[in-house]
Amino acid sequence: MTGKSTVILVFFVSGVIFSHELRNRAKPDEAISGSNFYALSSNKIMHLPVEAEREITDHRKSVLLNGIDDEIAAVLEDLRIEENDRYNSLLEDILEETRNPSIATRIYGLWETTSYGAGLNLASNELVKVVEDADYNPAAVGAAISYLAELKHLKSQDLLVEIANSQDSRIAVSAIRAIGRMGEIADSAKTERLLDRLKTVDPFAEEDLAAALIIMLGEIHYEPASEELAAIADDAGAPPIHRKFACISVGKIGRASDYEIIERIYYEADNADLRSYALMGLSEFPNQDITPVLVQALRRDSSWRIRMAAAEKLTDLNSPGVHELLRYKIVNDPISQVRIASIKTLGRSSDQDDWNFLIEYYTDKQNPTDIRLAALRTLIENKIPGTDEAIFSIMDELWEGDEGRFLEFTCLEVSKSEWTALAPVYKRMLDSKNWIVQVYGIRGIRRSSITSLRGRVNDLDSDGIDERVRREVRFGK
C-alpha cells in the first residue's frame, strides 16, 4: 500500500448526521454486503458510551469530493484493487466535472471491475465525442470502450462500428476488440464493412488494426469471413501474428472445409509457435473430436508451447489414459507452464481420485511452491471437497513458523475466493500472529460476504492489535 493510499479515519461525537452521509450509511442491524461490509463502523469500534451518538467522517469520500487529482487517483486505484463499489454513484458527478483523463480512465476501470451499470450512458457519451470529431482523450475513450464491452452494452454497438473506421488507429483497435468481446453484431451490413476493412488494410503498416479485425471476426463467428481468414492463416508471407490469430478465428467460425488447412499448418509448419495456435484452432472446430491429437501433442511434442496448448484444450477427460497423462505431466514435465495447465484441466474432473491427487500435491512440501499454489487455486476455483481440510493441514504445519512464507501465500490465494465454505479457514486466519494473514482473512470474509464473522472482524479494531489490521477493519482495505 502506498503512502498516497493511506488514510485516517476520524471519529466525531455528534448529534447531527449530515444528509450526504446518510446515503452511504446503513442501520446497524442491516446486512451489508460486498466491499461495503467493513467500510462502515460497528458499535464496538470506539467503545464509546451507548448514550453518545457518533458520526464517522468518511475520509475517502472527503478526498473524492475535495482532494487534488493525485489523491483522487490513489483512492480510485485502491477501490479498483478492492473491487469496492461503495462510491460508484458519487463518481458519476466527479466524472462529469473532471477534465483530467487519468481520473476518467480510473473511474471507468473501477466501474468495469465492479460491473456498475448506471454509468453506461456516460461511457457512451465518450464515444459520441469521437464520432462527432469533438475534443476527446484516447485513454479515456479506450477505458470507456472496455467498460461498455465488459458489460455487453449492445446499445453502443452502432457507435463502436463507426469508431472502428476511425483514422485514429488506437481508438479503432479498441472499438474492434470491444465488438468481439460483445460476441455479436445485429446488423450484417455493418459486419460486412468490417470484413471489407480487413481486406483493404495494409497488414504491415496497420498490424494491430488487422490483428484486431481477425480476432473480432472469429469472436462473432462471421462465416462470410472464413475464406479471407483461411487465406491469411495459410499465407507464409503474412505477418506471423496474423497467421496465428487467423488459425483460431477459422476454428471458431468452424467451416468444415477449412479444417484441413489448419490441420496441415499444425503438422507441417516449421514454427512451433504457429503450430501451437493451429492446434488451438483445431480444438475450436465444432463436431470435431481431436482428443487423440491433443493427447499425442501433450505426451510427445518437444515444444512446451504445444504441450501447454494441448493440456489447456483437453476437455474429454473420459478418454482412456487422459487422467494418468495429466497427473504424469503435473509431476514430471520440465516446464512449469505445462504443469500448471495440466493442473487446471485435471481440476475440471469429477473423479475423486483426481481431487485427492490435487490435494496431496498441494500439501506435499517437496513439490515446487508455484505449482503447489496453482493446485490450491484450482481446488478453490472448482470448489473441490476437502480443500478446507488441506488448508488446515498447512496451517497446523506452519502456524508457528512460516519461514518460506508458504502459509502467507496460501492465505493470499484464499483471500481472493468467494467460497463461503472456507469461512472456518478465514476465522482461523483472524487468530494469526502475522498481521498480513489477519488482513487476508478480513479480505476473504469481506469478499465472500460472510456476515456471521462480522463481529469477529470488528473486534480486531482494538488496543494491542497491529494498526495495519485495524486500518483494514475500518476501511475495508
Q: What is the 3-state secondary structure (H, E, C) of 190-213?
A: HHHHHHHHHHHCCCCCCHHHHHHH
Q: Cα–Cα distance between 289 and 187 in angstroms, integer?
A: 33
**What's the pTM?**
0.83
Give the Cβ contact number of residue 11 at 10 Å.
Answer: 14
153 domain residue, yes or no: no
Q: Cα–Cα distance between 429 and 103 in angstroms, integer?
A: 36
Q: State which H helix or E strand residue 158 sits in.
A: helix 157-163
- Model pLDDT, residue 184: 83
Q: Are 281 and 325 in a shared domain?
A: no
Q: Residue 33 pLDDT more than 70?
A: no
49-53, 59-63, 238-242, 279-283: the lowest-pLDDT one: 49-53
Q: Are 261 and 309 in a shared domain?
A: no
Question: Tell me, what DSSP letter sits at residue 434?
Answer: S
pLDDT in tens, 153-162: 999 999 999 9
Mean pLDDT of 425-454: 96
Q: Are 390 and 446 in a shared domain?
A: yes
Among residues 339, 375, 377, which one has the least CA distance to residue 354?
A: 375
140 domain residue, yes or no: no
Q: Are 272 and 195 in a shared domain?
A: yes
- Model pLDDT, residue 236: 97
Residues contacting residue 188 through CB under 8 Å, at least 6 positions apart: none
Q: Residue 7 pLDDT more than 60?
A: no
Query: How much of the chain, in percent, has pLDDT values that exceed 90?
Result: 82
- Model pLDDT, residue 57: 42
Between 284 and 30, the more confident residue is: 284
- Model pLDDT, residue 46: 36
Mean pLDDT of 25-37: 36
Q: Are 448 and 420 in contact (CB under 8 A)?
A: yes
Q: Residue 180 pLDDT more than 60?
A: yes
- Model pLDDT, residue 82: 80
Q: Residue 410 pLDDT more than 90?
A: yes
What does pLDDT average to over the chain?
Answer: 89
449 domain residue, yes or no: yes
Buried b vs exposed e over 320-333: b needs ≥16 C-beta within 10 Å? Answer: eebbebbbebbeeb
Among residues 464, 476, 452, which one has the least CA distance to residue 41?
A: 476
SS3 of residue 221 by DSSP? coil
Q: Which single residue is written with the C-alpha cell 488482513?
A: 439
180-189, 201-210, 450-459: the lowest-pLDDT one: 180-189
Q: Are 273 and 318 in a shared domain?
A: no
pLDDT level of residue 210 (50, 70, 90 thresholds):
very high
Mean pLDDT of 277-286: 97
Last residue of a domain, which of 261, 288, 315? 288
- β-partners of residue 55 are 12
Query: Torsion over CA of 287, 293, 297 and 303, rounded to 10 degrees?
Result: -70
Q: Are 305 and 276 in contact (CB under 8 A)?
A: yes
Q: Residue 255 pLDDT more than 50?
A: yes
pLDDT in tens, 420-433: 999 999 999 999 99
Query: How much of the chain, in percent, has pLDDT values that exceed 70?
Result: 88
Q: Are 330 and 398 in a shared domain?
A: no
**Domain containing 187 — which CATH number?**
1.25.10.10
56 domain residue, yes or no: no
268 domain residue, yes or no: yes
Query: Torsion over CA of 12, 33, 412 and 419, rounded to 10 degrees?
Result: 160
468 domain residue, yes or no: yes
255 domain residue, yes or no: yes
Cell of 212: 484486431
pLDDT level of residue 13 (50, 70, 90 thresholds):
very low
Q: Cα–Cα distance between 102 and 6 in angstroms, integer?
A: 20
- Model pLDDT, residue 265: 98
Mean pLDDT of 294-320: 95
Domain count, the chain: 3
pLDDT level of residue 41 (50, 70, 90 thresholds):
very low
- Model pLDDT, residue 84: 87
Q: Are 328 and 357 in contact (CB under 8 A)?
A: no
Last residue of a domain, which of 262, 288, 314? 288
pLDDT in tens, 91-139: 999 999 999 999 999 999 999 999 999 999 999 999 999 999 999 999 9
Q: Are 191 and 272 in a shared domain?
A: yes
- Model pLDDT, residue 22: 36
pLDDT in tens, 328-339: 999 999 999 999
pLDDT level of residue 476 (50, 70, 90 thresholds):
low
Q: Are 471 and 411 in a shared domain?
A: yes
82 domain residue, yes or no: no
Q: Are 9 and 56 in contact (CB under 8 A)?
A: yes
- Model pLDDT, residue 1: 44
Mean pLDDT of 167-176: 95
- Model pLDDT, residue 219: 97
Mean pLDDT of 219-245: 98
User: Which residue range(s) make up the domain with 326?
Assistant: 293-363
Q: Residue 181 pLDDT more than 50?
A: yes
pLDDT level of residue 17 (50, 70, 90 thresholds):
very low
Buried b vs exposed e over 275-303: b needs ≥16 C-beta within 10 Å? Answer: bbbbbbbbbbbeeeebbebbbebbeebeb
- Model pLDDT, residue 38: 31
Q: Are 282 and 299 in a shared domain?
A: no
Last residue of a domain, which of 288, 308, 338? 288
